[in-house]
Amino acid sequence: MRRDVFQAIADPTRRAIIALIALQAMTPNALAENFNTTRQAVSKHLRILTECELVKQEQQGREIYYSLEIEKMKEIDSWLAQYRKIWETRFNQLDQVLLTLKK
Amino acid sequence: MRRDVFQAIADPTRRAIIALIALQAMTPNALAENFNTTRQAVSKHLRILTECELVKQEQQGREIYYSLEIEKMKEIDSWLAQYRKIWETRFNQLDQVLLTLKK
DNA sequence: AATTTGCGAAACCGAATAGTTGCGTATATA
DNA sequence: TATATACGCAACTATTCGGTTTCGCAAATT
């Protein structure tokens, strides 16, 4: 099973889960109440997110709190960095053009 | 068919295509030669990338050159921005702790 | 004009995926 | 101790996905 961060964030429900647990740790039941889905479905998404280390869990009694592993999000950021470089270069080039026109 | 950027970049072959055409426009055949796959397979990926506007095409005779629509990549960047804010805040907090310890 | 080349599109197939249902287990509550 | 709650896991189903094969069309080459 090839699980990577990009595959994990491909699903909109998972992105919604990420958005919620980024703010505070939550249980599967609490998460399911926020969507039109069952606890089991959320549970499966959490398993995928856990497998690619985007999420960490903490047991408290019979409840399991899930929270975002923010470090892993940087992996997407570093992939994006190469393209950010491109659009920043283009922006600077445009900037140059505008400056030249102004003169 | 729900095509969005996140679903598009989920596939490793598509990320490789993006990396190549970010540097220069390429034809499906030229792209296929860079991978262990057929032109048709590449063609399907290009269709998906085109549908979500990550890629633009330019016909030249019977050849079609595909290149990256860098603007669309910013969509991923702006989604990531909310999380970047989180890790930067945490970094600053850690920075504060280190400063306090130093004194 | 006949052939080759570059391409998209459709039909098809096996694998993966999202979701449901049902189960077993552990913790909490009565 | 009996019951309710929170959860993960496995089995099952419908759908989607990545890839191949085949086809037809248009542009280039002979």
Backbone angles phi, psi at A59, to 5 degrees: -80, 135
Please name the nucleotide lying closest to A1, CA to C1'.
C16
pLDDT in tens, A41-92: 999 999 999 999 999 999 999 999 999 999 999 999 999 999 999 998 876 7
Predicted confidence (pLDDT) at residue B103 exceeds the cutoff of 70: no
Which H or E run includes B51?
A: helix B39-51
What pLDDT does B64 receive?
97
User: Does the domain made of A5-102 have the CATH classification 3.40.720.10?
Assistant: no
pLDDT in tens, B10-20: 999 999 999 99
Contact B7 A6 (CB under 8 A): no
Instruction: Tell me the residues of B at the A interface, defined by beta carbons under 8 Å apart.
Output: 4, 6-7, 9-10, 12, 15, 19, 22, 68, 70-71, 73-74, 76-77, 79-80, 82-84, 86-87, 90
Predicted confidence (pLDDT) at residue A9 exceeds the cutoff of 90: yes
Predicted confidence (pLDDT) at residue A1 exceeds the cutoff of 60: no
Residues 6+ away with beta carbon under 8 Å from A44: none
Name which residue leads in pLDDT, B89 or B93: B89
What pLDDT does B92 receive?
73
Helix count (H) and strand count (E) of chain A? 5, 2
Q: What is the ipTM, given to two decimal places?
A: 0.86
Give mean pLDDT, residues B82-96.
83
Q: How confident is the model at residue B94 (pLDDT cuts 50, 70, 90)?
A: low
**Residues counted in chain A:** 103
pLDDT in tens, B37-85: 999 999 999 999 999 999 999 999 999 999 999 999 999 999 999 999 9
- Cα Rg, chain A, nearest whole Å: 19
- Cα Rg, chain B, nearest whole Å: 19
What pLDDT does A89 receive?
85
Predicted confidence (pLDDT) at residue A96 exceeds the cutoff of 90: no
Residues of chain B contacting A83 with CB distance shorter than 8 Å: 22, 68, 70, 73
